[in-house]
Structure 1
Amino acid sequence: MCGIYGTTIPYKEEQIRQKLEITSFRGPDQMRWETFPYREGCLTFGHNRLSIIDLDSRSDQPMTYTDRIHIVFNGEIYNYKTLRSDLQKKGYTFTTESDTEVICATYIEYGENCATQLNGMFAFVIYDVSKNILYGAKDRLGQKPFYYYLNGNQFEFASQISSIQLFNNNLSISQKSIQEYLTWNSIPSPNSIFNEIKKLEDGHSFTFNLANSDFQTRQYWDIDYANKFQFKGDFQEAKTELEKLLKDAVGIRLVADVPVGVFLSGGVDSSLITAMASKVSGEKVKTFSVSFNEKDFDESSYARQVADHLKTDHHVIKCDYKEGIDLIDTFSDYYDEPFADSSALPSMLLSKHTKKQVTVALSGDGGDESFLGYQRYQWVRSNKKIYNIPSFARKLAVGILDHIPHKSNRLNVLSPYLKLKNIEEAYLKSMTNSNASWMKETYDTKNIEELKYLFHSNKNIYERVSDFDLKTYLTWDINTKVDRASMAYSLETRSPLLDYRVVEFAQSLPTDFKLYGNNQKRILKEVLYSHVPEHIFKRPKSGFSVPLSVWFKNELKDYVLAELSYASLTEISCINAKEVKNLIDQHMSGKWNHYSMIWKLLVLKQWLSKNGNGYSIV
């Protein structure tokens, strides 16, 4: 797990050093860069290393393999030992114990198809001297970030925007991306906050020809949204196969030359990962959870029950608003484009204190998307029949609702949904701003390519919303949150439920293996209950959240009112400052809960204050 950087732009040595230093938190163990002359110019590769596998300096990067290959790599290849053994049988030799060297040999053996051989989370770039090209790839589910800037023969890439942004005078802030951020809470791939900087999409690779500057991307992996692969066995057979897969996915993620722990919230996913880790590890597992003073947000007691049952070495991290405001003040230093998932704050806090004892932590991310765990999937189940009612009848109901004075919040929310054509449009609306009255311009949520995973007839609605979430919410939001929160404190996070084999297996299962009436994540729970008593989980599902709604009305009230004063709001061009001020006042009075909008605008305001000077917004 590291930070990578590269450029064909002839920056000075001191500038390269500063570009690496700005993200040194991603890899504090070693910072190096190297320049490679080629016929048309010079290429520089840089690397900030967080040492995980083969701690010896021989595995520092940039790394050279057989004089033909130079590489910078961020992430982990979990099947590298198997690949290494297979490659050795084919005559390849290795001088380190690292997975980086294995990527190089895999590229020589399989060429531009090499990414299909890798099971891991990764973003890497190879300079192939013999072909005079750069080849790079990003993992299937987008766990590792990769940004790039392309302007003719000027190509620059990095793990975070800030490295590209520094000393680059050709950037402009994207008005469209700000609107996308206000709609989705993050900026969808392939866009970034700057018009000129793009994200490499998940499951994609690229080539950049150094001779003629030709840049090409191609998709090497996708989820099975055509529904071609279907599990043929019964539920018990599926459960046995899933447990086998999970044990292997966890086992290969426990391999490290540094201490490893597990994030344990007390929910189904993290408890299952902890149970698997306890099963396959030869040592007592270290587990970590967060505790809040506000009891409605504190689930640490459930994590303690699981930890006690599995006999882990458990650590509870206590959080209050004072530490929370410290994280808010530095938020944009790590999330270096606007990002509004407030669960990033407890994720940062958890990472900060976990790092004091381990360098790698396993998480339960990915279970909800693949195994139908989000509460909104029950919302789909409850509301899809509404769209069997003829549209004229729904329009009549809307007319009646709109004329009811002082109607409840539930009726206020219901009315716009009745106007939509189908449950697919309703789900799309639920994933974006349901109330955009405070935005000056209406953003078209249908301008994303990922709609193809939702609007088709190959699968039922539950499988389609699951696929859509895997391609949007997971990659744009969850993986961004986890990467930045953990790397802010030089902690590597590994997610066994995002092993592509687990995801593909989940997609192949019949829906009722995952969602059976009100029983969500059915098959995951059945595996879990073989290791941890079922009664611990007999409670409503809750997200990993921080009590911002309470803090904003109390301890952080003055902070919010100062940061989001009317004068400050008028500086954000695409919002209605008067309407936003009215919504903030409603929140402070306790009439409505608008904490998510407040947080979203606090993040945007902070980012613009730190980054907006000198850039035009177009």
Structure 2
Amino acid sequence: MCAIFGIIGKYELSEVKKSLDLMLHRGKKYQKILEFKEGVFGFNRLAIENIDKNLQPLKTGDKVFVFNGEIYNYKNLIKKYDLNVNSEIEVIAKLWEIRGVDFIKELEGMFAIAVFDKKLYLFRDEFGKKPLYFTKNGIFASEIKAILPFVSKELDFEALSEYLAFNSSIAPKTIYKGIFKLPAGCYYDGEIKRWFDFERVENKSITKENVSAEVERLLIGSIEKRFMGDVEIGSLLSGGVDSSLIVALASKYRKIDTFSVGYEGFENYDERKYAKKVADYLGIKNFDVTLRKKDFFDNFENVLFHMDEPIADSSFFAAFHLAKSIPLKVVFSGEGSDELFLGYRRYEEFLGFFNAFLPNKKWLKKYLERYPEDIKEWEVFRRFFADEVVFRGINETFFQRQINKALRKNAFEVDYERFYKNWGSFYFTYFDMKVWLGEVLLMKLDKMFMSNTIEARSPFLDRDLVNFVFTLPEDVRGSKKWIVKEISQKYLPKEIVYRRKKGFAVPFYEWLKEEKELKRIIDINRKNKIFNEEYLKEIIKTGHKRYKQHIWSLYLFSRWYEKEFL
């Protein structure tokens, strides 16, 4: 893993060096700047595979290549194409010569790739595991902070509406006007084009009797791929079934240490006792750390720095604190299982709307509109009675009416339809892979662990496994992660497999109230005048009873805005 940076056009070498230095946390072993006629590429390296090789950027003739990530199948590609090369970057260069832009379809892994061949090309993996930002005048980087010195900072209000709705701006937008992020599964050659997307093609030969064995086989294969590298690998362990199953399967192949985080004085948030039970059961070492209120506030500015733009998931702070204590370069993580196998309890609620029938829907729609309530339940039923798409992401926070109330001006309509698929419950999975996973959870893994020079790998988010899940009949996939639980029974105690799911949450609300921090939302807003103050006061006064996540979104944005603009 590493950081990449480049400019096509005029530049000052000293400024290029400063931008790379802003991303040294992504790779401290090696830095190289390669100048060529049309521009410059730069690279910071965290060595995991081919530790003494794989030096970048690579120039072959008049073409230049640089990439961040891991290509799990690069050795197979060397054999397939009979290539006389040794490293991932050399494979990329050779495949470019053979297949042009279609080379990307051969790669399996997580990556952000830049190629200069008469013009700039940028590529991003199908899940969006590795970030890639760019401007339309030829600058690109692994992190926004490396681009900011070259642009005038301006807030993108369309992206702010997306942030309020989904906890993050949604690619191709970022919170900064003029800085874009390449969407997952896309490439850029002056225009954004899609090279991969997940499709729904049902395979009725798959049954409840044979599905678990196939998922298990694919998951084991995914873990084996992700053992690639010349360094020791560990795993995050929450004590939930997903991370526990990854650890159980991985420990069959190699010694693996695990790492957990908990909270002082908040047992309802703390899952370390379950992580310890899993580690003891498997006979492995688990190391845990405690995130205290002081750590939370002491780390705040650092987390904002590495976050780059506001992303309203409080677990970023737990991930950052945990990463600081991990002495390894690579860890596994359990992201993706809940979305693939409908593990969130709220999915059950949305599933209920598929078969619901009410003969008086139009009358009920008019009744709801006549007596509006500022709560999610009201909005969900309004959509149902109005024959609108009910589900708009598991992480939807502010719905459109609330966005319109919250913003004094420049409240944009959030476009959820670009992720709509008429796929039944598989629409939930597709939407959340694009938004919740792609823009929030995977950014957490990359940004918070790379802030401490650690690469995080997610075995559930494997192309072969996800493609298989999208072929399952509805009744075979079912819900509540029954497939994952059935597999897990072979490897884990039932107490872990069937315990009630808890989210990876941080007691932020309690800490903000204790430290009287909520007033900062109002104080900062009086300086930037972005939000409607009366509505902010209503949200803060009502608090966790209705607006807990709203408050966190507003507080995080306020702290970020204060840091960047005030």
* Corresponding position of 1:451: 419
- What residue in structure 2 maps to residue 584 of structure 1? 540
Aligned to 1:62: 57
Match of 1:165 in 2: 148
Q: Distance in 1 between matches of 2:285 and 2:292?
A: 23
In structure 2, the partner of 1:228 is 201
Counterpart of 2:485 in structure 1 is 525
Q: Which residue type is aligned with residue 503 of structure 1?
A: V
Q: Determine which of 482, 490, 507 is the counterpart of 2:453.
A: 490
1:8-407 residue pairs with structure 2 within 5 A?
8-37=8-37, 42-56=38-52, 58-64=53-59, 66-67=60-61, 69-88=63-82, 92-94=83-85, 96=86, 98-128=87-117, 132-151=118-137, 155-169=138-152, 171-207=153-189, 215-224=190-199, 227-230=200-203, 232-281=205-254, 284-293=255-264, 294-354=266-326, 357-386=327-356, 388-395=358-365, 398=368
SS in 2 for 1:428: coil
Distance (Å, rounded) in 2 between the aligned partners of 1:445 and 1:525: 39
Where does structure 2 lack aligned partners over 5 or more consecutive residues?
A: none
Cα contact 2:393–2:432 (8 A) shared by 1: no
Counterparts of 1:418 and 1:543 in 2: how far apart (Å)? 25
- Output the aligned Cα RMSD: 2.4
Q: Give the TM-score normalised by structure 1.
A: 0.85
The one-letter code of the counterpart of 1:438 is: A
Identical counterparts, % of pairs? 30
The one-letter code of the counterpart of 2:151 is N
Contact 1:290 1:300 in 2 (8 A): yes
Residue type at the aligned position of 2:3: G
Q: What is the CA-CA distance between 1:279 and the residue it aligns to? A: 1.9
Any conservation in 1 of the 2:393–2:435 contact (CA below 8 Å)?
no
* In structure 2, C-alpha distance between the alignment counterparts of 1:444 and 1:386, rounded to whole Å: 31
User: Is the CA contact (8 Å cut-off) linking 1:384 and 1:423 kept in structure 2?
Assistant: no
Displaced runs of 4+ in structure 1, greater than 6 A?
399-402
- The question of whether the paired residues in 2 share the 8 Å contact of 1:179 and 1:574 is answered with no
Separation of aligned partners in 1, 2:128 and 2:313: 17
- Cα distance in 1, alignment partners of residues 397 and 469 from structure 2: 26
* Bigger Cα displacement from structure 2, 507-516 vs 308-317: 507-516
CA contact (8 A) 1:272 1:528 kept: yes
2: distance between equivalents of 1:11 and 1:449?
A: 40
Shift of 1:449: 5.1
TM superposition shift of 1:327: 2.1
- Counterpart CA distance in 1 for 2:382 and 2:150 is 49
Q: Distance in 1 between matches of 2:299 and 2:387?
A: 38
| CA deviation profile, 1:189-228 (whole Å, cap 9, x unmatched) | 1111222111111111233xxxxxxx2332111111xx33
Q: 1:31 to 1:387 in 2, by over 3 A?
A: farther
Deviation at 1:608, TM superposition (A): 2.0
Partner SS for 1:426: coil
Q: In structure 2, what residue type is equivalent to 1:546?
A: V
Distance 2:202 2:88 in 1: 31
Cα offset, 1:466, TM superposition: 1.5
Shift of 1:575: 1.1
The letter for the 1-side match of 2:525 is L
Counterpart-to-counterpart distance in 2, 1:389 and 1:488: 55
Q: Is the 8 A contact 1:180 1:443 kept in 2?
A: no
Work out whether residues 33 and 45 of structure 1, in 8 Å CA contact, stay in contact via their aligned partners in 2.
Answer: yes
Number of positions where the alignment pairs a residue of Structure 1 with one of Structure 2: 560
- Give the alignment partner of residue 440 of structure 1, picking from 396, 399, 408: 408
Q: Distance in 2 between matches of 1:18 and 1:449?
A: 40
What secondary structure is seen at the aligned counterpart in 2 of 1:427? coil
Equivalent residue of 1:232, what SS?
coil
Tell me: CA distance 1:231–1:317, structure 2 relative to 1, closer, same or farther (3 Å).
Answer: farther
Output one character per residue of 1:74-107: Cα deviation in whole Å (capped at 9) or x when no partner.
111111121122232xxx212x4x3222222222
- TM superposition shift of 1:307: 1.2
2-structure distance, mates of 1:471, 1:387: 30
Q: Distance in 2 between matches of 1:45 and 1:176?
A: 31
